[in-house]
Amino acid sequence: MSTGIEARHARTCGSRTGDRCTCRPTYQASTYDVAAQKKVRKTFKTISAAKRWRQDAAVAVRTGELTANRGPTLKAATDQWLADMDAGHERTRSGDPYKPSAIRGYRQSLTKRVLPTLGRHRIKEITARDVQALMDQLVRDGNAPATIDGALTPLRAFYRRALVRGEVNRNPTVGVIKPAVRSEPKAIAPPSEVVARLAALHGEDRTLWALAFYSGLRRGEIIGLRPEDVNLAAGVIHVRRGWDMEHGEIKPKSQRGHRNVPVPAPLRDHLDQHLLDHGDRERVFRSPRWVAKGTDRARQAWADAGLQPITLHVARHSYASLMIAAGVNAKALSAFMGHASIQTTFNLYGHLMPGSEAEAADLLDAFLARDAAALTGAQTGAQKAQALS
């Protein structure tokens, strides 16, 4: 028998008592992992298969692609990972702590769609084929592309982290194919509709929606806003915190979430009166739940005015469209929106920005006309000066 290969006979086999073999033995191949100080073993039906595996395994152990230390299961490893997120020990790729809502989303996707299939497998032994099989099954089960993407996202983040930390030798999510997520155009309310929507509301609700339409704050940022954050004399709102419905006050979504947002005249009028009436509150609006229910309260008023219901986040998109229509550049808009990067702004609102062939030609024509007019004026001035000399 070859070194490192052992024949495994049945308990009733005659070879166990010194007689001839009366069973069909299997063959266990093994190679020693010095780092783990134990053997890696695998059993095969034929001795030739065992020999081939042992040769490949010896090389894999030396290169670190195979180890006798099997490591934790995916469920155990992701449970610890999520616990570290909850404690604030884990960071996103941008270096920020994970937001409670992001952690909840990761936990839900893993628990519902990933761990039932892969949870019991060791993280080092899960292959791209296993992950692809999971994605394919989610497709067959009729899940939407966004749902499937949501299942793969935490798995990618986990393995990206595990690979950097040396906990795995390969990332099995690389190269996995999934249905494309097609983003629908962002719903927006044009300026005239914004005015109509605000006119249909009354009291504090009108101020709430004016803030959403004319500042672009996220719902959690609106909830967390305090009277001292609103500086009408300087014409800015200081965004300093957000709000999570389960965890309460939190830091803004990213470092760029700390920002100053300009206050346009229509919003100034609403906020001025509102702060006069309610400036003694801890926060600008009465309670987190009251803000969260803003869409429900506005729905009937808008239905009576012949307007479709929208959410506070749709109002944020409308703010972006208003700023673009007013000529605000992408860099400034990115800062006002609190996006982590200008690329996020382009990805979300690039289709609203100037860029069509006709518009580009018009802009160039206008520039050239101004330049030609300036040149003509300079030449005329020089000719008059020469005539007088």
Q: Which two tokens stand for residue 321?
A: 């469209």
Q: Are residues 25 and 160 in the same domain?
A: no
Q: What is the pLDDT of residue 360?
A: 61
Tell me, yes or no, whether 341 lies in a domain: yes
pLDDT, average across residues 357-364: 64
Q: What is the mean pLDDT of residues 332-359?
A: 78
pLDDT recorded at residue 326:
85
CA angle 219, 224, 225 (to 5 degrees): 100
Same structural domain, 241 and 320: yes
Higher pLDDT, 97 or 257: 97
User: Does position 351 have pLDDT exceeding 80, yes or no?
Assistant: no
Question: Among the listed ranges 101-115, 213-227, 328-342, 368-382, which one has the minimum average pLDDT value?
Answer: 368-382
Both 206 and 336 in one domain: the answer is yes
Instruction: Assess if residue 144 is contained within a domain.
Output: yes
Whether 326 maps to a domain, the answer reads yes
Q: Judge contact between 100 and 247, C-beta under 8 A.
A: yes
In a domain, 153, yes or no: yes
* Mean pLDDT along residues 324-338: 89
pLDDT above 80 for 370: no
One-letter amino acid for residue 289 of the chain:
R
Over range 3-11, report the average pLDDT: 90
In contact, 39 and 30? CB cutoff 8 Å:
yes
223 belongs to a structural domain: yes
Based on the fold, state whether residues 115 and 202 are members of the same structural domain: no
Give me the chain's average pLDDT, please: 88
Residue 356 has pLDDT above 60, yes or no: no
Distance CA 158, CA 145 (A): 20
| Residue 377 pLDDT > 60 | yes
In a domain, 333, yes or no: yes
Which CATH number fits the domain that encloses residue 112?
1.10.150
Integer Cα distance of 389 and 382 in angstroms:
11
> What is the pLDDT at residue 380?
64
Please compute the mean of the pLDDT values over residues 361-373 and round it to a whole number. 73
Which tokens is 328 given?
């605000």
pLDDT in tens, 89-135: 998 887 888 999 999 999 999 999 999 999 999 998 899 999 999 99
Same-domain check for residues 255 and 313: yes
Residue 123 has phi, psi (to 5 degrees) of -60, -30
The reported pLDDT for the residue numbered 358 is 62
Please, are residues 178 and 132 in contact by the beta-carbon 8 Å criterion? no
| Domain endpoint, select from 63, 83, 108 | 63
- Same domain? For 383 and 310 the reply is no
The verdict on residue 32 lying in a domain is: yes
A 10 A CB-CB count for 109 gives: 20
The answer, as to whether pTM is greater than 0.85, is no
pLDDT grade, residue 277 (50/70/90)? Answer: very high
| Residue 344 in this model has a pLDDT that exceeds 70 | yes
CA 286, chain centre distance (Å): 30
How far apart are alpha carbons 290 and 312 in whole angstroms?
Answer: 13
| Residue 167 token pair | 């906990």
**Which position has the higher pLDDT, 65 or 299?**
299
Q: Based on the domain organization, do 149 and 250 belong to the same domain?
A: no
> In whole angstroms, what is the distance from residue 27 CA to residue 79 CA?
37
| Contact by Cβ (8 Å): 292, 223 | yes
Judgement on whether residues 254 and 388 belong to the same structural domain of the protein: no
Same structural domain for residues 157 and 292? no
> Which residues are CB-contacts of 15 (< 8 A; sequence separation ≥ 6)?
9, 21, 22, 23
Lowest-pLDDT range of 202-216, 219-233, 307-321: 307-321
Which range (23-37, 119-133, 334-348) has the least confidence?
A: 334-348
Domain count, the chain: 4
Q: What is the mean pLDDT of residues 335-344?
A: 86
> Do residue 268 and residue 300 come from a single domain?
yes
Q: What is the pLDDT of residue 327?
A: 84
pLDDT at 174 over 80: yes
Show the domain range for 82: 74-164
The reply to whether 212 falls in a domain is yes
Tell me: do 41 and 54 sit in the same domain. yes
CATH number for position 319 = 1.10.443.10
The confidence band for 233, taking pLDDT boundaries of 50, 70 and 90, is very high
Same-domain status, 228 and 348: yes
